Amino acid sequence: DAGITQSPRHKVTETGTPVTLRCHQTENHRYMYWYRQDPGHGLRLIHYSYGVKDTDKGEVSDGYSVSRSKTEDFLLTLESATSSQTSVYFCAIRDGRRTYEQYFGPGTRLTVT
Amino acid sequence: QQQVKQSPQSLIVQKGGIPIINCAYENTAFDYFPWYQQFPGKGPALLIAIRPDVSEKKEGRFTISFNKSAKQFSLHIMDSQPGDSATYFCAASKNTDKLIFGTGTRLQVFP
């Protein structure tokens, strides 16, 4: 999985609780992305980062926030989890020098009850 | 909005067959078209990608055909094997930016 780890790999939480997912890379890539994967929707971009402290919104950013204080770590936070955020979350990285290829982590399965 | 439409949703072929998965896009500014392969419980893995300046690209048993005028591209898997059974996603992006994914095709290859 291209030097990408995600933690936790599985999490069950209750509606209304905050949740933070972590993506860690060892590739020193500039770009990092958070996607969610749901049946019938493919993968949809939540937020992305183009450098330390530089982030921007994706297609489905409502209810999510992100932070990147170090090159290697990109955190996704659900401030108050809802059942509609039950999904599989994938982190991806891209080397700005190899402009196009994105490589994905193993994913985190989140269930909000 | 669905900017990349993928079909079929599922596909069943016999070993040795040539499954074909199709994608259509709307935004003519897209300039990068990758295909990803995903096995259950794993993250998507980049399989092959094409830029719009070529009409075909082959890597091993996998071929992308690209039709710029029709705004369509497709994945062909030659001599398919049971190990190719997976979900395949097409995607598109412009200017090295955010990827827009299709909804996926579940391929089953039977011995």
Each residue of A25-83: pLDDT tens digit?
999 999 999 999 998 889 999 999 999 999 999 999 999 999 999 999 999 999 999 99
- Distances in Å between the Cα of B59 and the Cα atoms of A103, B35, B46, B91 are 18, 12, 12, 18
Instruction: Write the single-letter amino acid at A10.
Output: H
Range of the domain at B83: 4-110
Domain count along chain B:
1
A1 touches chain B (CB under 8 A): yes
Which region among A17-21, A26-30, B37-41, B96-100 has the lowest average model confidence (pLDDT)? B96-100
Helix (H, G, I), strand (E, B) or coil at B21: strand
Structure tokens that stand for B2 in this block: 């669905």
Tell me the per-residue pLDDT of B26-35, one tens digit each, with 9 for 90 and over: 999 999 999 9
Tell me the per-residue pLDDT of B45-96, one tens digit each, with 9 for 90 and over: 999 999 999 999 999 999 999 999 999 999 999 999 999 999 999 999 987 6
- Specify the CATH number of the domain A4-112: 2.60.40.10
Using CA coordinates, name the residue in chain A closest to B49: A101
Q: What is the CATH number of the domain that holds B70?
A: 2.60.40.10
- CA B86 to chain centroid, in Å, comes to 12
**Structure confidence at residue B16 as a pLDDT band (50, 70, 90):** very high
B13 touches chain A (CB under 8 A): no
Using the structure block, give the residue that is written with the tokens 């669905």: B2
* Residue B56 CB neighbours (<10 A): 11
Q: Are A23 and A44 in contact (CB under 8 A)?
A: no
Give the integer Cα–Cα distance in Å for B71 and B74: 11
Residues A15-24 have a mean pLDDT of 97
Q: Which H or E element spans position A92?
A: strand A87-94
Look at residue B95 in the predicted model and tell me its pLDDT.
73
| Closest CB from A48, A90, A101 relative to B46 | A101
Chain B residues whose beta carbon lies within 8 Å of the beta carbon of residue A97: none
Give the integer Cα–Cα distance in Å for B11 and A101: 26
* CB–CB contact B46 A103 (8 Å): yes
Chain B residues whose beta carbon lies within 8 Å of the beta carbon of residue A107: 41-43
Q: Are B12 and B110 in contact (CB under 8 A)?
A: yes
B98 touches chain A (CB under 8 A): yes
Q: How many CB pairs under 8 A join A and B?
A: 50
B94 touches chain A (CB under 8 A): no
Q: Is the dihedral of CA B23, B32, B50, B72 positive or negative?
A: positive
* CB–CB contact A42 B32 (8 Å): no
Give the integer Cα–Cα distance in Å for A109 and A88: 4
What percentage of chain B reaches a pLDDT higher than 70? 97
Q: Are B100 and B93 in contact (CB under 8 A)?
A: yes
Using CA coordinates, name the residue in chain B closest to A47: B98
Look at residue B2 in the predicted model and tell me its pLDDT.
61
Instruction: Write the single-letter amino acid at B85.
Output: S
* CB–CB contact B101 A101 (8 Å): no
Chain A residues whose beta carbon lies within 8 Å of the beta carbon of residue B6: 42
